[in-house]
Amino acid sequence: MCGIVGLYLKNPALENQLGALFEPMLLAMTDRGPDSAGFAIYGDEVTAGWIKLTLQSIEAGHDFKGLMGELEGRLGCSLEWFQNASAAVLKTDADEAAVRAVLAELAPAVRVMSVGQSIEILKGMGLPKDITERFSLAKMKGSHIIGHTRMATESAVTMEGSHPFSTGQDLCLVHNGSLSNHFRLRQELRRHGIEFETENDTEVAAGYLTWRLRQGDSLKEALDHSLVDLDGFFTFAIGTRDGFAVIRDPIACKPAILAETDDYVAMASEYQALSSLPGIDKARVWEPEPATMYIWERSA
């Protein structure tokens, strides 16, 4: 079944409250997804020439401090980092490909959850409440955030199989629904150099977006193509460095609701997840149309 929630702040004065505003939205989706949960939060941008990577280990108690020392020595780079429970956020002026190569050699149990200037993806197995408490979501700050609660239907319950899935620098995707042609698409995308770590159909959708963007598509063009090439039922929420987008398949049988005020735009699988937001009683509330992309982004 799964649940999706997203919150984009139009009012910068609310950025210190982003985590506190978003946490009850994610918890409201517990019944739709009790086996794992995650979120992608945007903020705390690195300076030009640097990248930020979110790392999580599939093994408990990983020695991130030792890993960072080895990375710094091997890459000869500048880096900063901090640990958040089972995750570490690394900021560095090293090349992304070089960091990934050294990580694969030194720490094969560590997965790169996200890369970019702004994004951090944190996720794991357990009830949404377990995930929000583990990563202290209520204390987090930022400009926008999307999240997901999962009820697995087609693949194993693992940290890697939780949403969101990264689709490129500062880009990620969460999904409610199921894709009927994910096996064929996975094979085709592998021939185009797209790599996969799970059997999750959502990872195929994420890989598809990655491929389309590498072909030169804009985000809108990639999502327009997805309406043709992805068979099945889906509501997608896509996070970008500057905002987020929502799209449903042409049949639109998977639920979604949007709300907008002068302070924020919010989306969820069910209205109850929006009911805790300030001013929701005065918001414009509507159901997104089938095969229609809705996007909010900060102006350059």
Answer whether 71's CB lies under 8 Å from 103's CB: yes
Q: What is the CA radius of gyration of the chain?
A: 18
The most distant pair of C-alpha atoms in the chain lies apart, rounded to whole Å, by 55
C-alpha 152/C-alpha 34 separation (Å) is 9
Q: Which of 63, 82, 9, 4 is nearest to 296 (CA)?
A: 9
* CA–CA gap between residue 173 and residue 43 (Å, rounded): 17
Point out the catalytic residue in the list 2, 77, 172, 253.
2
User: What is the distance, to the nearest Å, from the Cα of residue 195 to the centroid of all Cα atoms in its chain?
Assistant: 18
d(CA 126, CA 141): 23
Tokens of 241: 């460095």
Position 210: which residue type?
T
Residue 2 designated active-site: yes
CA distance 246 to 239: 9
Would strands 110-116 and 51-57 be described as parallel, antiparallel, or unpaired? antiparallel
Residues taking part in catalysis: 2
